Amino acid sequence: PDRVKALFNLSAPFIPCDPRFKPVETLEVLLGKDYYIVRFQEPGEIEAEFAEISLRRAVLELLSYRIPDPLYLPKGNLFGHPLDCPVNLPPWLSDQDADYYANQFQETGITGALNYYRNIDTDWELLAPWWKSQIQVPVKFAMGDHDLVYTMPGVKDYIHNGGFKRNVPFLEEALVINGVSHWINEEIPDQINQL
């Protein structure tokens, strides 16, 4: 509270760490080896698979994911459909923006972005002193009902049945917006800015 007056979080609700469960191991138990965060763990492996289908296509597939289910990336069939199927960009993602994102990753590689996921367990360990912390400032939260985070086991119940409010006592609002997926600030920027 002495540094942050308020928060407005999108797409990922605050869920405190549980010292009994390492995050990646837990995700593998709950969602399996093909779950995207689990697949991202081995350095170089998913990068090579993305290169096989083209990094551009992989980036566009990830940005276009709108299925209200967990994202699975099985070996040999990464996005669950043949490669000759076109990637249909969502209305909020212009060809120009898609090209920009894809070109940026083609220039720099995607390892840096994947390293965020590879550090989840390390972050969990480093956050140990704050595992029992609550968010003690006013908070608003919004996510889409097609968000892959919303469909993770237990998240809907956590948001709607008191768990979120218990860990974020000054939660003023938790909006779940119909028809919107993970990239909520890109999909409905005007609506988000009005919140």
Question: Taking a C-beta distance cutoff of 8 angstroms, is the pair 146, 68 a contact?
Answer: yes
Q: Could you give the CA distance from residue 108 to residue 104 in angstroms, rounded to a whole number?
A: 6
Residue 66 pLDDT grade (very low, low, confident, very high; cuts 50, 70, 90): confident
Residue in the block written with tokens 């097609």: 146
The number of residues in the chain equals 195
Instruction: Kindly report, residue by residue over 9-64, the tens digit of the pLDDT.
Output: 999 999 888 889 999 999 999 999 999 999 999 999 999 999 999 999 999 999 99
Q: Is the pLDDT of residue 1 over 80?
A: no
Q: What is the pLDDT of residue 83?
A: 85
pLDDT at residue 115, rounded to an integer: 98
CA angle 188, 35, 52 (to 5 degrees): 90
- Mean pLDDT along residues 75-102: 90
Cα 143 to Cα 12, 58, 147, 148, distances in angstroms = 7, 23, 7, 10
The mean pLDDT of 72-93, rounded to a whole number, is 90
45-53 helix and 111-118 helix, angle to the nearest 10 degrees: 140
What mean pLDDT is reported for the chain? 93
Q: What is the DSSP letter of 93?
A: S
Specify whether the CB–CB gap between 21 and 124 falls below 8 A: no
Domain boundaries along the sequence of the chain: 7-16+133-194, 27-123
> How many CA atoms lie within 13 Å of 169's alpha carbon, on the beta-carbon side?
3
pTM of the predicted model as reported, rounded to 2 decimal places: 0.89
Tell whether the model's pLDDT for residue 133 goes beyond 80. Answer: yes
pLDDT at site 111: 96
pLDDT at 142 over 90: yes
Tell me: pLDDT of 121 over 90.
yes
Provide the pLDDT for residue 16: 87
Report the run of H or E that residue 107 belongs to, with start and end: helix 95-108
Percent of the chain topping pLDDT 70? 99
Question: What sign results for the dihedral spanned by CA atoms 104, 58, 148, 184?
Answer: positive
CA angle 180, 135, 68 (to 5 degrees): 20
Tokens of 71: 């994202």
- On the question of pLDDT at 2 being above 80, the answer is no
